[in-house]
């Protein structure tokens, strides 16, 4: 069984920064990619950023230039550095791990951007 534990969410003022972490544990084999998705109230879950095992990354247009995804392969951990946060970034952020067989999701961490 695979577990994903997210941390780093919270309340921040507009223009501020947060760093999310997601640590994977359990029977993990052949990780293809890890990433972050978010879901705001009343909206569908959307991609924020993903990173493959060889370091290739992909970002939603809305976060390009502000968010940076990185990973520590040795620790099966993925990070999301979020800078210049805006109120519209408010959402529950979910970590996702993809293998060649299936996907796994974390429980989510709340990010609230408000003055």
The whole-number pLDDT of residue 74 equals: 87
Average pLDDT over residues 38-58: 95
Q: 76 versus 86: which is more confidently predicted?
A: 86
The whole-number pLDDT of residue 101 equals: 86
101 Ramachandran zone, left/alpha/beta (phi>0; psi -120 to 50): alpha
The whole-number pLDDT of residue 27 equals: 80
The whole-number pLDDT of residue 73 equals: 86
Name residue, tokens 């003055």: 115
User: Residue 26 and residue 91: Cα distance in Å, rounded?
Assistant: 27
User: Residue 68 and residue 11: Cα distance in Å, rounded?
Assistant: 19
The mean of the pLDDT values for the chain is: 95
The whole-number pLDDT of residue 26 equals: 87
């Amino acid at each position: 069984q695979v577990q994903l534990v997210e941390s780093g969410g919270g309340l921040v003022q507009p223009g501020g920064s947060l760093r999310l972490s997601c640590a994977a544990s359990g029977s993990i084999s052949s990780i293809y990619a890890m990433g972050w998705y978010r879901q705001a109230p009343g909206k569908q879950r959307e991609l924020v950023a993903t990173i493959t095992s060889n370091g290739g990354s992909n970002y939603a247009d809305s976060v390009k230039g502000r968010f940076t995804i990185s990973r520590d392969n040795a620790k099966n951990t993925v990070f999301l550095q979020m800078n210049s946060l805006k109120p519209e970034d408010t959402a529950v952020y979910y970590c996702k791990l993809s293998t060649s067989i299936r996907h796994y999701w974390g429980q989510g961490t709340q990010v609230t951007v408000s003055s």
